[in-house]
């Protein structure tokens, strides 16, 4: 059994667990996705990176974009200023998030703001 995402106009509309033979017999565009892939890294049963092959950069979610050119799944952008990392297909802020406190992104200010 494997996970498959139904793609309509480049957007994931459904994710199911199925045998390839079932997918081959139903209509629509279906693309395999891996529950163990995040940020172009494959993770084992223990949640740690392993030597497994990453599949399509990220596990597909409903509303995710399937980019045929990149052969990758990624979520829609949250902020207009963030940039898609080509290697991981994860959106990144224009500046690194500080790690000394809890912060949230303020799009209007274009910066990380401490959360009290």
Picking from 88, 83, 82, the residue whose alpha carbon sits closest to that of residue 105 is 82
What is the pLDDT confidence band of residue 46, given thresholds at 50, 70 and 90?
A: very high
pLDDT in tens, 56-82: 999 999 999 999 999 999 999 999 999
CB 39 within 8 A of CB 56: no
Nearby residues of 105 by Cβ (< 8 Å), 6 or more positions away: 79, 93, 97, 111, 112, 113
- Sheet with 2-8: strands ordered across: 29-33, 2-8, 11-18, 65-67, 72-74
Tokens at residue 82, please? Answer: 């963030």
pLDDT in tens, 10-30: 999 999 999 999 999 999 999
Nearby residues of 32 by Cβ (< 8 Å), 6 or more positions away: 2, 3, 4, 5, 55, 56
Question: Which pLDDT does position 101 carry in this prediction?
Answer: 79
CB 7 within 8 A of CB 27: no
């Amino acid at each position: 059994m494997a996970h498959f995402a139904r793609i309509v106009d480049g957007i994931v509309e459904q994710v199911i667990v199925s045998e390839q033979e079932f997918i081959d017999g139903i209509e629509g565009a279906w693309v395999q996705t891996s529950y163990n892939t995040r940020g172009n890294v494959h993770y084992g049963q223990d949640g740690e990176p392993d030597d497994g092959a990453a599949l399509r950069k990220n596990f597909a979610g409903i509303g995710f974009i399937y980019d045929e050119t990149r052969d990758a799944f990624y979520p829609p952008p949250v902020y207009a200023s963030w940039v898609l990392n080509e290697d991981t297909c994860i959106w990144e802020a224009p500046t690194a998030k500080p790690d000394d406190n809890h912060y949230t992104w303020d799009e209007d200010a274009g910066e990380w703001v401490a959360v009290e």
